[in-house]
Amino acid sequence: MADILKRKDLIRACYAPDRQSADQMIAVLGQYGISAVRSGGVKDIYRIGGDVVGEEIMVTPEDLPQAREILQQMTGDDTPAAQPSKSVAKTVISLLAAAALFILLLLIRGLF
């Protein structure tokens, strides 16, 4: 496990909806001899109504095909495993709009 953390070439195998699911997926992959790690992201910093993006399950390029097959069987999902949530774009746009509004308010008050 420590070896995989040092690798820079990890590839996203799939998304998990939350940290608990990510931990379960990593445990299942481990049972098949596949080392995997989770990668959080924006939602680890900002918890706005729960998980924003979910957890990325990262594996080595060599393990990617087998990992995706195992995870698809585990989730029972026939869609490609590495597709992000469609709400990600909406979340990013909402955050950018909020930042723009904040800057506009600062300009109006003369603080910027």
**Domains delineated in the chain:** 2-83 (3.30.70.1530)
- What does pTM read for this prediction? 0.57
Residues 38-93: pLDDT tens digits? 887 554 545 454 445 578 889 999 999 999 999 988 877 655 444 555 566 778 88
Half-sphere exposure of 94 (CA within 13 A, CB side): 7
Which helix (H) or strand (E) is 100 found in, with range?
helix 87-109
